[in-house]
Structure 1
Amino acid sequence: MCSYFQEQTKDSVRQIIFSALFSPQGNKADDGRMILLGKLVSMAVAVCRVPVLECAASWLQRTPAIYSVRLARALVDDYCCLVPGSIQTLKQIFNASPRFCCQFITSVTVLYDLSSDDLIPPSDLLEMVVSWIFEDPRLILITFLNTPIAANLPIGFLELTPLTGLIRWCVKAPLAYKRKKKASLSNGHLTNKIAKDSATGADKDCHLLYSKLHLSVLQVLMMLQGHLTEKNLYGRLGLVPFDHVVPLVEEINRLSDELNPLNASKEIELALDRLAQALQVAMASGALLCTRDDLRTVCARLPHNNLLQLVISGPVQQATHAALPPGFYPHIHTPPLGYPAHAAHPALPAHPAHPAHPAHPVQTFIPGMTFPYRPIR
């Protein structure tokens, strides 16, 4: 099969045959299809068969997410779990099929949602994903940029970008790893894996990787305003759906309550800082379509965080102008686009000089108010 797809010269024929063979039909044969698909794509990765990887990328985009996650799990098992060091083989397909890499990242962010210790991404997988994105942040926009897009996306399929999943990784990571450490200590001993991770500093390395990933995600969000405007989707398509922000905030709140706030104050602060940064940049770029009132309602129960408070308060809104697209939040210190420049104010006439006041001690803590100083007795 791998040879057939490699030798078939017509891409349309490849796609049709691939879809006919592996699209879920809702019957008992689906399990067999998924097992065979996992072996085929795993082989294509091992021998770098780009046509198969391109077909798999289209399949991931057009298939319900529950099946996409199964394929991602099969690849993670083959290249992250079975043979140590084999992740390098998977890592090398970055240049061969970026489109497949984009869809694979989207799938693994759905698979590993950090909701439990078992669903924290393996360190090798995390390092590979971060290296891909840090090398070229535009990688995670490939599907979005190369797909005809309708305003209403189908429910139950992978999103156009892995942005939501990557934001979830960055925001929840400090709390998830703290929970993992707390669970291991509460058992009275460290498991072999956790002991090994602690000895090698793997958890510390992971925290650095999440920090690096967070920077890359913010950079991608900042690119989006131009792309959305170019596609005439600014204000119409939220690539970071508000419906996905709500459960993320609820998960953060639950984890914050679960962990002792006194012992996890640094982790909670870091998670909320990252959440605030992601929300602010996503809203400013048009990737997140919601109002500050929506955010205030959703974030009301979160622990206090100065940066988050600034974000949900937002800049002082000026009068609505037709030239501004929906959901546009003007910058605080610069005039928003579409507003006419204000004419310079005429110079005010000089005030006549006031006569000197009699000298007496005054207190000037409050600007503009003076009164005699009276010591407290």
Structure 2
Amino acid sequence: MEGDKFTLTAQLNAATIQRFEKLLYSDGFPRCAIRLMSKLKDYVQDQASTVQQFVKIQQFKNNQTIESLIEKFIFQPCCKKKFVNVNHWFETTAMQQLQLFEILLTQFNDIQSSHISYCILDALFGISSSCNEVEEVKMSVLSRMVSMCIALNCVPVLNGAALWLEKCNTSDRQASLNIAEMLLADYCLLVPDLQQTLLDLCNCSPTFVAQLITAFTLLFDIKPGNSGSLDNNNYPRLPPISLMRIVAEWTVSNPHSFTVAKTTENLPHFYSSKTENDKMDCSEIHSTIYGLARWSTLVPLLYICRNEPANVKTIEEVHISCSKLQCGILQALSECSNHKEAEIPNKNSPPTLTISLNMMQEIAVDLQKCIQQVTTSSSSQNPDTDKLVEWSLNRLTQFVQVAFSANQLKFSLEEINNTMEALPKTRLWGTFIRLAKS
């Protein structure tokens, strides 16, 4: 058949594309999606059979044509609205939408290379649609597909998704936030019994876990309001205790996963990437280790502010989770000098744990706000308040101390001492400064 001979790598003219579209329309959904996904997989594997060949790609052939085909025959059929094109239209049922998940997962089954999986994901979801409804479908499909892959232990998809999430965490954050929100609902809130599935994820795809943690820290960035008052209008959204338990277990069981050098700078984008001026410079401000340090330092105090003093059990659970999380953070920092090479190494990229002065200034300012709120609110009646404040200060000190020992601080000892000047002094901080100067 003519459709079987059609390849996305060939020189495509308008007549050839029109004939292929006509064939896809005649297939109907879901057969058109199956045919197109098969062509897309062959296309990617033909252009990037090895990692070395893959990273040399400057631009994928016919990417605008592929973008149009994907939108017409994979995502538009799943929209509630009918899309009419040359007297053809699709309107799928709920069962057909489930078939789409099956089609996507089936195409990934025999792919063992994470860079091939990444490229297919980037082709499917790597560009925003001009149609809001199509964009909603794409984000819903992506989030649910990743959730299903976790449940079904589809490692090739998860490894590819790890590379794709790394790109999103430093560019199109909304996509990674959608995935994090969906997984939080599926595995922590709606069905708590599935939490063990998330815990086991660290064994099958540690790189995905590392990027998912970054997405969670972006979702719960826990920044107090600019006014310094933690009232109901500007109170930060806090990570659920169930999520904190899972993240703490991940960091302790696999701390070296956060020391992997960045890989996405080496990966080609299926579609034209943003210009240098448009790219988001958020790799420094929202690194994984920075987000986790904010959690272990700020979350216990924020829970005190939000909960009644009598809710001792909640505060205790938060403290235990943060202590375990702190242990994982310190392990990761201590191992960063021996970080593992990524699948696609970039020798020019530093380890992702490097701490900037700006990061420490933000944590110090926000910690000061939390301490002021805790000591001036009704929560100050809690007999453990002073102890929890001291523990938060000591966690920040431990973080700086281990990062300093591992040569992961991008600033001088004098600069960090000035940054911490406004915070209450602890014996641990004084000991650290004295020993560091000696």
With the length of structure 2 as denominator, give the TM-score of the two structures: 0.61
C-alpha separation between the residues in 2 aligned to 1:129 and 1:18?
25
- 1:306 is matched with 427
How far has the Cα of 1:251 moved from its partner?
0.5
C-alpha separation between the residues in 1 aligned to 2:404 and 2:435?
11
Q: 2:393 aligns with which of 261, 264, 272?
A: 272
How far has the Cα of 1:283 moved from its partner?
1.8
Kindly indicate whether residue 358 of structure 2 is the aligned counterpart of residue 243 of structure 1.
yes
- 1:44 is matched with 149
- Preserved contact between residue 110 and residue 165 of structure 1 (Cα < 8 Å): yes
C-alpha separation between the residues in 1 aligned to 2:113 and 2:338?
34
How far has the Cα of 1:158 moved from its partner?
8.3
How far has the Cα of 1:311 moved from its partner?
3.7
How far has the Cα of 1:16 moved from its partner?
2.0
Q: 1:23 aligns with which of 113, 121, 126?
A: 126
- 2:255 is matched with 137
Query: What per-residue deviation string (whole Å, max 9, x for no partner) do you get for residues 307-350 of structure 1?
Result: 2244456633xxxxxxxxxxxxxxx4xxxxxxxxxxxxxxxxxx
How far has the Cα of 1:202 moved from its partner?
4.2
How far has the Cα of 1:88 moved from its partner?
1.9
Q: 2:371 aligns with which of 245, 256, 277?
A: 256
C-alpha separation between the residues in 2 aligned to 1:253 and 1:11?
43
C-alpha separation between the residues in 1 aligned to 2:259 and 2:414?
29
5 Å-filtered alignment, 1:212-361, equals 212-227=324-339, 239-260=354-375, 263=381, 264-312=385-433, 315-316=436-437, 332=438
- Preserved contact between residue 166 and residue 264 of structure 2 (Cα < 8 Å): no
Kindly indicate whether residue 186 of structure 2 is the aligned counterpart of residue 78 of structure 1.
yes
Describe the SS at the equivalent of 1:113: coil
Kindly indicate whether residue 126 of structure 2 is the aligned counterpart of residue 4 of structure 1.
no
How far has the Cα of 1:5 moved from its partner?
1.5
Describe the SS at the equivalent of 1:86: helix
User: Kindly tell me: are residues 236 and 212 of structure 1, through their superposed partners in 2, closer, same or farther at Cα, counting changes over 3 Å?
Assistant: closer
Name the stretch that deviates more: 112-121 or 126-135.
Answer: 112-121
User: Kindly tell me: are residues 35 and 25 of structure 1, through their superposed partners in 2, closer, same or farther at Cα, counting changes over 3 Å?
Assistant: same
User: Kindly tell me: are residues 62 and 177 of structure 1, through their superposed partners in 2, closer, same or farther at Cα, counting changes over 3 Å?
Assistant: same
* More relative contact order, 1 or 2 (CA 8 Å, 6+ apart): 2
- Preserved contact between residue 225 and residue 234 of structure 1 (Cα < 8 Å): no
User: Kindly tell me: are residues 234 and 272 of structure 1, through their superposed partners in 2, closer, same or farther at Cα, counting changes over 3 Å?
Assistant: farther
C-alpha separation between the residues in 2 aligned to 1:276 and 1:10?
41
Residue type matched to 1:178 in 2?
I
Residue type matched to 1:80 in 2?
C
Bigger radius of gyration, 1 or 2?
Answer: 1
- 1:119 is matched with 237
Describe the SS at the equivalent of 1:255: helix
How far has the Cα of 1:34 moved from its partner?
1.4
User: Kindly tell me: are residues 60 and 146 of structure 1, through their superposed partners in 2, closer, same or farther at Cα, counting changes over 3 Å?
Assistant: closer
5 Å-filtered alignment, 1:137-156, equals 137-142=255-260, 144=261, 155-156=281-282
Kindly indicate whether residue 217 of structure 2 is the aligned counterpart of residue 109 of structure 1.
yes
Describe the SS at the equivalent of 2:109: helix
User: Kindly tell me: are residues 146 and 23 of structure 1, through their superposed partners in 2, closer, same or farther at Cα, counting changes over 3 Å?
Assistant: closer
- Preserved contact between residue 177 and residue 216 of structure 2 (Cα < 8 Å): yes
C-alpha separation between the residues in 2 aligned to 1:121 and 1:226?
30
5 Å-filtered alignment, 1:158-169, equals 162-169=288-295
Q: Where does the alignment leave 5 or more consecutive residues of structure 2 unmatched?
A: 1-103, 225-234, 267-275, 341-345
Q: 2:297 aligns with which of 171, 184, 198?
A: 171
The aligned length equals: 301
Name the stretch that deviates more: 297-306 or 38-47.
Answer: 297-306
Q: Where does the alignment leave 5 or more consecutive residues of structure 1 unmatched?
A: 317-331, 333-377
User: Kindly tell me: are residues 275 and 41 of structure 1, through their superposed partners in 2, closer, same or farther at Cα, counting changes over 3 Å?
Assistant: same
RMSD over aligned CA atoms reads: 3.4
C-alpha separation between the residues in 2 aligned to 1:234 and 1:310?
33
How far has the Cα of 1:32 moved from its partner?
2.7
Residue type matched to 2:128 in 1?
Q
How far has the Cα of 1:233 moved from its partner?
7.5
- Preserved contact between residue 217 and residue 292 of structure 2 (Cα < 8 Å): yes
Name the stretch that deviates more: 95-104 or 63-72.
Answer: 63-72
Residue type matched to 1:248 in 2?
I
How far has the Cα of 1:164 moved from its partner?
0.9
Q: Which has the higher helix share?
A: 2
